[in-house]
Structure 1
């Protein structure tokens, strides 16, 4: 028998639990870093029910609270937007468009964008709203 009741001294440190923790933290960091959505942040108005219109090749138009217009997160002027929408319609006549307007945006600016879509005969235009706060 060994002295000390048969106990063996540990000379090695088991780092497996520490590596498991490091891997979990690395995975969480990667997921959180890639989960951010690119685009322009606007405060969307709420709707009682909303059907998602986001499809592949959808053009996202945004009007922020200062009245600036963005097409797929890039700032554009109204004449530039008209040119880009004409090009998009030439490649796909039924191109779907979603319009996001901040709740504090002047209604006239959103109407200018909607009127432009109507003049270009773009009929698949949807307005984006936020989720209802409670029912």
Structure 2
């Protein structure tokens, strides 16, 4: 009678639904990424100080937490616990590329005054920072 033409079975995967899912996930991550804040949790002392000007470069933020651990944030980089020598060498390397970058110390309010001063001396002597600023929170009105 009729000769039926047998079709070969296709063993290919339809990837279109996977591409759709990936695009949705990409959009979700793009929207949520700026909302994630990074940094070391410190309780800054309150003071009525002038903020950095908006046209200035983003500062290098050297932090010391309540336990006396050192951290360094450059732009949006993640904070990692560092030794004093590592902080000094990283700051020195960054200032070699961009010498007009401001450097500020972000010290927890509960940390000893000595730990903040030691970090400032480390930045000035070993890293060659000409001036170091101190970060504060604005007082509640």
Q: What TM-score, normalized by structure 2, do the two folds share?
A: 0.64
Matched, 1:132 2:139: yes
Quick one: structure 1 residues 65 and 93, their matched pair in 2 at CA, closer, same or farther if it must change by over 3 Å?
same
Distance 1:65 1:78 in 2: 16
Cα distance in structure 1, aligned partners of 2:59 and 2:121: 18
Contact 1:95 1:124 in 2 (8 A): no
Matching residue of 2:21: none
Report if the CA contact (8 A) 1:50-1:129 is conserved.
Answer: no
Output the CA distance in 1 between the equivalents of 2:53 and 2:108.
18
Report the equivalent of 1:49. 49
| Aligned positions of 1:77-88 closer than 5 A | 77-88=83-94
Structure 2: runs of 5 or more not aligned: 1-29, 74-78
Show structure 1 runs of 5+ residues with no match.
1-29
The structure-2 alpha-carbon separation of the partners of 1:111 and 1:33, relative to structure 1 and needing over 3 Å to count, comes to same
Total equivalences in the alignment: 105
Hey, what does 1:5 align to over in structure 2? none
Which residue number corresponds to residue 121 of structure 1? 128
1:9 corresponds to which residue? none
Aligned partners of 1:58 and 1:95 also within 8 Å: yes
Partner of 1:58: 59
Mapped to 1, the partners of 2:84 and 2:105 lie a distance apart of 14
The normalised TM-score by structure 1 is 0.67
1:112, CA displacement in angstroms?
1.1
Report the Cα offset of residue 123 of structure 1: 2.2
